[in-house]
Amino acid sequence: MARLNLLILGLLLTAAMPAAGSAQSTFVSDVPLGIDWIIVPDDNPQSAAKVQLGKQLFFDPRLSGNGTTSCATCHDPNQGWADNQRFTAGAHGEPTVRNVPSIVNVGLHRTFFWDGRARSLEEQALSPLQNQIEMDIDLGVLEDRLKSIAGYRQQFEAIFPDGVTAQNVARSLAAFQRTIVAGETPYDRFRGGHADALDGEIGVGSGLFFGKANCGNCHIAKVYTDHQFHNIGTGLASLPQDRGLADQTGRQEDVGKFRTPLLRDLALTAPYFHDGSKATLEEVVDFYSEGGGKNPNLDSHIVPLKLTPEEKKALVTFLREGLRSKQYPQVEKPELPE
């Protein structure tokens, strides 16, 4: 909770700092060591009040059609801001078709969802609400419901000239999600000049990550993503096959491509991959060591690594310990308006 309060204070301070070529702030700069400033759209500037409203909305099951499911149901702060299920049951008990990704440091992404179908957090925010499997609510019904809650109506009217609208719900949720950040891992400290931060097996694993194991080709240091989409051969056995990026582009060569995820605090976000098919980091390392899942669109970076048992162990140690944040974002469920 203290971390969130510091972030809100930082938002207020940076709001008065003009970015280059702009009359207003376009970033959140109060972030941990190792994290880039979070870019903020000009049409949705951060404010403490907006972040607080977004936090309430995030935890409120009344944003689902039947009042049973909130954003936090799937993105649970106690489960790495994801959950520990391969697929998650939505408002009607039906499972999702993809594994729930963590939203920690989600403001660093340039596209959203595993297939990149949203271009901003604001665009992303309304999709789960409308999805019939996930939260299943009509946006008109959502607006009417929130307008009927005096506490929400007053907050929206104080923040937005047009009060309660679906777009303002999205803006508030996005503002809150941009404050969910984590960093200052041992590797971040090493990059910051602390040579002893990667002593022992963690250091060996780091060398493998950026060397023999080829992880750094896609999980580029600092952000741990290349913001691209790759076919690593997961989900080949699913029927029908999840086409991934190809559903957005229509291109056959994009079948099976999914967004490169961020990697900090991996130990908290099992299971792994878009289909949740690997239950442990050991299974993930074995999968890559064997050269992924063979298919015609397999990314050229995915090749057999022939890691020894000792190398696999060191790589898992780096993934688990070397990328563990010093302070992980935890927030208490807020009191919801009536």
pLDDT in tens, 1-23: 444 443 443 443 333 333 333 33
pLDDT of residue 14: 38
- Cis status, amide bond into 240, omega within 30 of 0: yes
Render pLDDT for 69-105 as a digit per residue (tens, 0 to 9).
Answer: 999 999 999 999 999 999 999 999 999 999 999 999 9
Residue type, 104: V
Q: Would you say residue 25 has pLDDT above 80?
A: no
Handedness of CA 48, 51, 57, 59 (dihedral sign): negative
Q: Is the peptide bond before 309 cis (omega within 30 degrees of 0)?
A: no
In the chain, which ranges are E strands? Answer: 27-28, 38-39, 229-230, 258-259
Domain with CATH 1.10.760.10 in the chain: 2-177, 186-322
pLDDT of res. 13:
34
| Displacement of CA 33 from its chain's centroid (Å) | 18
CATH assignment of 2-177? 1.10.760.10
186-322 has CATH 1.20.1050.10 classification: no
Confidence of residue 148 (pLDDT cuts 50, 70, 90): very high
- With a cut of 50, say whether residue 302 has pLDDT above it: yes
Q: With 50 as the cut, is the pLDDT of residue 41 above it?
A: yes
Q: What percent of the chain has pLDDT over 90?
A: 88
pLDDT of residue 239: 81
Query: What rounded mean pLDDT belongs to the chain?
Result: 92
Amino acid found at 289:
S
